[in-house]
Amino acid sequence: MTLRKLREALIERTIFVSGITSIVIVALIFIFLLKEGLSIFLAVNPLDFLFGQFWYPISDPPSFGVLPLIIGSVFVTLGAAAISVPIGVASALYIAEVAPPRTKEILKAGIELLAAIPSVVIGFIGMVTLGPFIKAVFGLPTGLTALTGSITLAFMAMPTIVSIAEDAVTAVPRQYREAAIAMGATKWQTTWRIVAYAARPGMIAAIMLGIGRVIGETMAVMMVTGNAALIPTSFLQPVRTLTATIAAEMGESVQGGEHYAALFAIGIVLFVITFLINGVADLYLHRTTRR
Amino acid sequence: MNARTEQRIAFSVLFACTLLVVMPVLIILAIIFVKGYSALSLDFLLGMPEDGMNAGGIFPAVLGTLYLVIGAIAFAVPLGVLSAIYLVEYSRDNAISRLIRLAIVNLAGVPSVVYGLFGLGIFVVFLGFGVSILSGSLTLGIMILPVIITASREALESVPRSFRIVSFSLGASRWQTIRHVVLPHALPGILTGTILGLGRAAGETAPILFTVAAFYLPTLPESVFDQTMALPYHLYVISTQVPGIHEEVRFGTALVLLLLVLLLNLAAIILRYQFRKKKKW
């Protein structure tokens, strides 16, 4: 009997330790980003880092201003959100409220498959099909622009937006719909004015998580945006994002050097941004489930 | 405009939007299949690259991805399942369990390239594993941990409370109950999560960029401390880094990667569907 108790206690310990690994890993990620990245602020003042307009990491002397990269990320993210939010919310409404059960299953599977396509494959397709198309339509010297990136990323954000918004719509209590229909509203009026309205917190969470995905996306964006680290003035210019900069330049930086530290510091910026977005989105998600 | 017409128009718009979301899957599949399938052959899958990666096969990349995925799963599944067991079977709703939940949500949202930085910082440099299969597998394993935990948690939560109560009433301990009553019923759900994790790990590029992936290697890796080529990185290399690679080779590589990932996901979807249909409670 005591042996059994000992065994139970041992197992319980192991399980508890595994249970808290997620917390440990989040902490470790933050610690290691700081450990490798903070030294850049000995060389560059944090404000000059965030708001400096020139990213010339390998010039002599180097200049580590990430503003062009932040603006590049913002351009691509806003563009992608402008495309994916209305389309994503509309299809979430269609799948949750309009589609017959069988169609619904197929559509959901299709969206899951879209989410599963590796970003390097999406980037590759964007590069060989969308790029040349944009180049021809707008008569540009290159088809790899902020617009190309926005369209590509919009498709990568859509599965997130659709599936979470769809959950939010489905979670709206049946009685809301029945009451609206009983008052003489059409199905569309019910869907748009009652159900979509009631599902707002979940939809906001869906949009935020979609945007979080876009900001963090790396490979596809690196392959289709042209990677010019200059502050863009139009969507038809090449841009370079925070993520693409890390991925593209880490290989050529010297371990422990300023450039290396600067790339980790960009990682800190990304980590903090996504941490905030996910935290707030989670608050909104819980607001829906509590009701 | 009367309400009926309005409804018809509105629903058509919603339907069109849904098509816009789903169609790209088919279009991407179609393009890659049409342009890539002529490259597909056993020699392509099992041959070494030749002529500056312009001919021959992609075997080192396929094998490397296999190694990385196995390593990632070996690390993430035990840890993820135990972690889910803690959340569902042991923890009460207190500060720690809420903190764990928040951590999982945040891990799921960390950009893949940041996982790459983390893997470089901790495994390659700090623990001294170097740029190796070990570092890459662990990095990928940490990245898919939230996928495994979330799927396992849902699977465990779907096992009815009454099963546990009956087991306790027969004198079984908590662990015996979990081991013999709860886990067997949660297994299909956990398996689904594992397959999804496999698919995700197989397709990710950014986490392996600085932790394991090699541009080109003439020989196959021999230990976990060796570098390796990997499918997604290989596709990136031959489509952006090396000019003038034949279209057929590029699309062929994309097709192999896409098929691998989509088949894994399809398997997960079917498994989940079968499981739901069979469930009797």
Helix/strand/coil for A224: helix
Cis peptide before A201 (omega within 30 of 0): no
Q: Indicate whether B81 belongs to any domain.
A: yes
A32, B109: Cβ pair inside 8 Å?
no
Task: Pick from B7, B99, B114 the residue to mutate for testing the A interface (most A CBs within 10 Å).
Answer: B114
Q: Kind of pairing, strands B55-56 and A55-56?
A: unpaired
Residues 6+ apart with CB under 8 A from A260: A36, A250, A253, A254
Residues A13 and A139 in one domain: no
B22, A111: Cβ pair inside 8 Å?
yes
Across the strands, what pairs with A56? A63
Strand residue runs (E) in chain B: 49-50, 55-56
Domain count, chain B: 1
Q: How far apart are CA B117 and CA A264, in angstroms?
A: 7
- Asked if B210 and B119 touch (Cβ cutoff 8 Å), the reply is yes
Q: How far apart are CA B101 and CA B134, in angstroms?
A: 28
Q: Indicate whether B253 belongs to any domain.
A: yes
Q: How far apart are CA A224 and CA A247, in angstroms?
A: 14
Q: Indicate whether A110 belongs to any domain.
A: yes
Q: How far apart are CA B184 and CA B190, in angstroms?
A: 10
Q: Indicate whether A44 belongs to any domain.
A: no
For range B114-127, the mean pLDDT: 95
CATH number for the domain including A190? 1.10.3720.10
Q: How many CB atoms lie within 10 A of CB B13?
A: 12
Q: Indicate whether B48 belongs to any domain.
A: no
Residues A162 and A261 in one domain: yes
Q: Indicate whether B54 belongs to any domain.
A: no
Domain count, chain A: 2
Q: Indicate whether A167 belongs to any domain.
A: yes
B210, A218: Cβ pair inside 8 Å?
no
Q: Indicate whether A194 belongs to any domain.
A: yes
Residue length, chain B?
281
Q: What is the mean pLDDT of chain A?
A: 90
Across the strands, what pairs with B55? B50
Residues A94 and A233 in one domain: yes
Q: Indicate whether A216 belongs to any domain.
A: yes
Q: Is the pLDDT of residue A91 over 50?
A: yes
* Domain, as residue range, for A21: 2-37
A118 contacts on B by Cβ (under 8 Å): 202-205, 232, 257-258, 261
Q: Indicate whether B34 belongs to any domain.
A: no
Nearest CA in chain A to B10: A188
Residues A118 and A30 in one domain: no
Classify residue A280 by burial, with Cβ atoms within 10 Å: 0-12, 13-18, 19+.
middle
Q: Residue B4 CA to chain centroid, in angstroms?
A: 45
Q: What is the pLDDT of residues B124-133, one digit of tens each?
A: 999 999 999 9
Residues A12 and A130 in one domain: no
Which of B206, B264, B269 shows the shortest C-beta gap to A247? B206
Q: What is the pLDDT of residues B151-174, one digit of tens each?
A: 999 999 999 999 999 999 998 888
Q: How far apart are CA B167 and CA B134, in angstroms?
A: 41
Chains A–B, number of C-beta pairs less than 8 Å apart: 267
Q: What is the pLDDT of residues B175-209, one digit of tens each?
A: 999 999 999 999 989 998 999 999 999 999 999 99
Residues A260 and A137 in one domain: yes
B122 contacts on A by Cβ (under 8 Å): 28, 32
Q: What is the biggest distance separating any 2 CA atoms in chain B, rounded to whole angstroms?
A: 72
ipTM of the complex: 0.91
Q: Indicate whether B28 belongs to any domain.
A: no
Q: How far apart are CA B80 and CA A17, in angstroms?
A: 11
Q: What is the pLDDT of residues A168-218, one digit of tens each?
A: 999 999 999 999 999 989 899 999 999 999 999 999 999 999 999 999 999
- Asked if A226 and A131 touch (Cβ cutoff 8 Å), the reply is no
Residues A33 and A72 in one domain: no
The CA distance from A25 to the nearest CA of chain B, in Å, is 8
Residues A170 and A278 in one domain: yes
B10 contacts on A by Cβ (under 8 Å): 188, 191-192
Nearest 5 degrees, angle CA B149-CA A119-CA A224?
150
Q: Indicate whether A53 belongs to any domain.
A: no
Q: How far apart are CA A130 and CA A178, in angstroms?
A: 45
Q: Indicate whether B9 belongs to any domain.
A: no
Nearest CA in chain A to B238: A124
Q: What are phi and psi of A239, to 5 degrees?
A: -135, 170
Q: How far apart are CA A240 and CA A71, in angstroms?
A: 9
Q: What is the DSSP string of B21-40?
A: HHHHHHHHHHHHHHHHTTT-
Specify the pTM.
0.91
Q: Indicate whether A47 belongs to any domain.
A: no
Q: Indicate whether A54 belongs to any domain.
A: no
* Domain, as residue range, for B109: 59-278
Q: Indicate whether B3 belongs to any domain.
A: no
A129 contacts on B by Cβ (under 8 Å): 31
Residues A87 and A185 in one domain: yes
Residues A138 and A189 in one domain: yes
CATH number for the domain including B108? 1.10.3720.10
Residues A29 and A127 in one domain: no
Which of A32, A116, A118 shows the shortest C-beta gap to B121? A32
Q: How far apart are CA A124 and CA A121, in angstroms?
A: 5
